Amino acid sequence: MGVMEEKNWGRLIKYHRQRQGLKQDDVSVGICTTSYLSRIENGVVIAESTVYEMLFARLGIDMIEEKEQLTAKQTFLEKIYEKLLSNEELKLDEVEMLESFETLVFRQELDLLAGLIYGRYLFSINRFEEARELLAKIDPFVILTQDRVTQLYIGITTYSNITYLEFHKIIQREEQYKVGNYMKTASNFEHANYLYHLAFAYHRTYSFQQALSYIEFATQAFTHLYKPLFQLKLYSMKGVILNNLHRFKEALAEFEAAEELLSNVETIQSPQQWSSLYNNIAYCYECQGLFKEAISYYEKANKYELDSHSIINWMRASYQRGEIAKLRQLFEIYPLKNFNVLHHQYQWKLLDYASDGERSLLSLKELEEQSFPYFEGQEYYSLILYYAPLWAAFYEELHAYKQASVCYKRALKASEKVRERMGK
């Protein structure tokens, strides 16, 4: 018996004893002391296998059958989790079985595993609030230690934080508690997934050097595994990080590797994957001031799949290249109502105003006060670095030098924040 099974036996004994209305001394008499049974039930001690056998017999439980069921259940749950990590769709009978295991009565560790994996499944079908509520109910039962529950808890709560854009929470937990150490004994794929999410979180908080380190660790952990979709994510994420470090040639090399992989593995080819990759390539060219190439790739991205992020980037690149007629055409094709993300809406308004030509202090100020504080609050520093100097130039055209100075200060502050974090 493994340690996890033996801990489960203690919880299971307690569950069946209480269910039968028996006291601890009713069950322990002639087998062990009452205090020893209490410690067994609470997982404080691991008893001899003969002690478990006698306790199970006293409760009228077939231990061999229980063990077989436990092993089958664990094998099934691990298979489901592997599929969820690999973005594979679950079959109907798999979903039904997973739902049958879901419980809020955590009488054994396997119940915690089932709850955690069911929570991860809920995330995969976009039932985010239900997933978060379930994780909150499981949280009090989890004690971080070197076991399977801890590994799943870390992996799945990290995924939850990514989903809710809680990047600082991921970083704070890792830096404070070094939870990544628990993941080192998980499968290479799970370990690589956690490192990838760390890289993602550091990247989104502008700590690009840290992000680069973790994406390289993830790549090392993933070596020799065949998971083409995850390999695609690694190439793309590394390219994005290198681009933000202004290592453009290296970034394009990663994107080229991603494009070659996507071209040759039919199972991962989807409009979403092509669109995402071409958007990343386009943004790399935009960051170099190569707006013609950027526009070409943004257009490609949207031919595969219409995406508001790619569209707003396409609009911005068109404005920077001076293609105002094309930009006005894009505004007609993709009106403001098509955009649901707030920073996309603000960019749409800013670009629409910038390309219109009609300026007034009142309207400039109104858009500034709507968008820039939001960009700052969400730490969209790259947007501030582009739009704040642009707005400053508009103020200068109207001889509003004090307000122009405020915009330049916004850009300077954002630049300092990026510089500070890039140095970490």
- Report how far apart, in Å, the C-alpha atoms of 203 and of each of 31, 127, 208, 241, 358 are: 57, 26, 5, 7, 38
Asked whether 407 and 368 are in contact (CB, 8 A), the reply is yes
> In this prediction, what percent of the chain has a pLDDT beyond 90?
79
pLDDT of 102 > 80? The answer is no
The residue type of 337 is K
- Report how far apart, in Å, the C-alpha atoms of 319 and of each of 35, 95, 323, 378, 399 are: 76, 48, 6, 24, 23
Domain segments of the chain: what residues?
1-61, 270-354, 359-424
Q: Which two tokens stand for residue 200?
A: 């993602």
pLDDT of 132 > 90? The answer is yes
**Helical H runs in 245-380?**
248-264, 271-287, 291-304, 308-321, 324-333, 342-356, 361-377
Q: What is residue 2's predicted lDDT score, i.e. its pLDDT?
A: 44
74-90 tens-digit pLDDT = 999 999 999 999 999 99
The residue type of 87 is N
Sequence-distant (≥ 6) Cβ neighbours of residue 76 within 8 angstroms: 97
| Nearest-angstrom CA–CA distance, 126 and 120 | 10
Q: What is residue 1's predicted lDDT score, i.e. its pLDDT?
A: 41
Q: What is residue 16's predicted lDDT score, i.e. its pLDDT?
A: 82
Q: What is the mean pLDDT of residues 307-311?
A: 94
Q: Please name which of 134, 103, 138 lies closest in space to residue 119, comparing C-alpha atoms.
A: 134
Report the mean per-residue pLDDT for the chain: 93
Q: Which two tokens stand for residue 246?
A: 């202004």
N- to C-terminal Cα distance for the chain? 46
Q: Which two tokens stand for residue 86?
A: 């690999």
Asked whether 211 and 241 are in contact (CB, 8 A), the reply is yes
CATH topology for the 1-61 domain? 434 Repressor (Amino-terminal Domain) (1.10.260)
Give the residue, 345 or 69, on which the prediction is more confident: 345
How many Cβ atoms from other residues are within 10 Å of residue 333's Cβ? 9
Look-up of token digits 């077939």: 62
Model confidence band, residue 66 (pLDDT cutoffs 50, 70, 90): confident
| Nearest-angstrom CA–CA distance, 168 and 161 | 9
Q: What is residue 104's predicted lDDT score, i.e. its pLDDT?
A: 67
Asked whether 6 and 52 are in contact (CB, 8 A), the reply is yes
Q: What is residue 108's predicted lDDT score, i.e. its pLDDT?
A: 73
CATH 1.25.40 fits domain 270-354: yes
| Nearest-angstrom CA–CA distance, 311 and 316 | 9
2-59 tens-digit pLDDT = 444 566 678 778 878 888 999 999 999 999 999 999 998 887 888 888 898 899 889 8
248-278 tens-digit pLDDT = 999 999 999 999 999 999 999 999 999 999 9
Model confidence band, residue 246 (pLDDT cutoffs 50, 70, 90): very high
Report residue 367 CA to chain centroid gap: 32
Q: What is residue 254's predicted lDDT score, i.e. its pLDDT?
A: 98
Q: What is residue 41's predicted lDDT score, i.e. its pLDDT?
A: 84
Sequence-distant (≥ 6) Cβ neighbours of residue 104 within 8 angstroms: 115, 137
Q: Any idea what the Cα angle at residue 242 is, between residues 237 and 247, rounded to 5°?
A: 155
| Nearest-angstrom CA–CA distance, 76 and 290 | 51
pLDDT of 105 > 70? The answer is no
Model confidence band, residue 122 (pLDDT cutoffs 50, 70, 90): very high
381-401 tens-digit pLDDT = 999 999 999 999 999 999 999
Give the residue, 119 or 12, on which the prediction is more confident: 119
Q: Which two tokens stand for residue 154?
A: 């870390």
161-216 tens-digit pLDDT = 999 999 999 999 999 999 999 999 999 999 999 999 999 999 999 999 999 999 99
Asked whether 412 and 396 are in contact (CB, 8 A), the reply is no
